[in-house]
Amino acid sequence: MSADSRPTVVVLDYGSGNVHSAVKALEAAGASVELTGDHTRAFEADGLVVPGVGAFSAVMQQLVNSRSAEVIDRRLAGGRKVLGICVGMQILFEHGVERGVDTEGLGEWPGAVTELDSPVLPHMGWNTIDAPTDSVLFRGLHDERFYFVHSFAAQHWTLDVMPPFPQPQVTWSEHGARFVAAVENGPLSATQFHPEKSGEAGIRLLSNWTESLSTD
């Protein structure tokens, strides 16, 4: 693939930690990548990646303060693809509850992000996933492991989509209890794990996503 034909991807820079590993992984996956908080470039790119590390409330505050939540909403309203990673996935739900603090999320999906019911937290390390057989993200990756670092997750999926709209593809994993490991819902996809820290399997997953950008 020539440089000119590579899909353009913006990794949204809104102050949430070190995101350079995500940039490198997306480049390895075949994208032309820019790390920026510029809203025009974030809207116009073929794909937008929303990373996130730390507490749900802190990430939401950074998104609101930088007005980055607006560009995510504008992209999705126009059917333009967005990929959330880790807390960048969690904030897509209605709200997150951490240490007694209930914070409003972006509300793209119903439900809450809550602490995992496990004697060992955080959930840190490699784990298997249970993905739908026709998943685009996990094409060729159903037997692979991915790298997780988190103590909170969405543990229920309640979005009910009526025809003619397709049902979302929900992937699960388990640490003490089942939790949502990934979602594919029209232009919006997200992973609770870190594909950029998941070795070759993570690169292949990002390749599956970047290849889907050319189908818009």
Q: Which residues are catalytic?
A: 86, 194, 196
Vertex 125 angle, CA 34 and 149, to 5°: 55
Q: Tell me how far apart the alpha carbons of residues 15 and 53 are, in angstroms, rounded to a whole number.
A: 10
Which residue is listed with tokens 């994993």? 173
Task: Give the chain's radius of gyration (CA, Å).
Answer: 16
Contacts of 129 (CB under 8 A, 6+ apart): 138, 142, 144, 145, 146, 171, 172, 173, 181, 182, 193
| Cα-based torsion angle of the residue sequence 204, 205, 209, 214 in order, rounded to the nearest 10 degrees | 20
Q: Decide: helix, strand or coil at residue 195.
A: helix
| Cα-based torsion angle of the residue sequence 95, 15, 89, 146 in order, rounded to the nearest 10 degrees | -140
Q: Tell me how far apart the alpha carbons of residues 60 and 120 are, in angstroms, rounded to a whole number.
A: 26
Q: Tell me how far apart the alpha carbons of residues 173 and 181 are, in angstroms, rounded to a whole number.
A: 6
Is 193:172 a contact under the CB 8 Å cutoff?
A: no
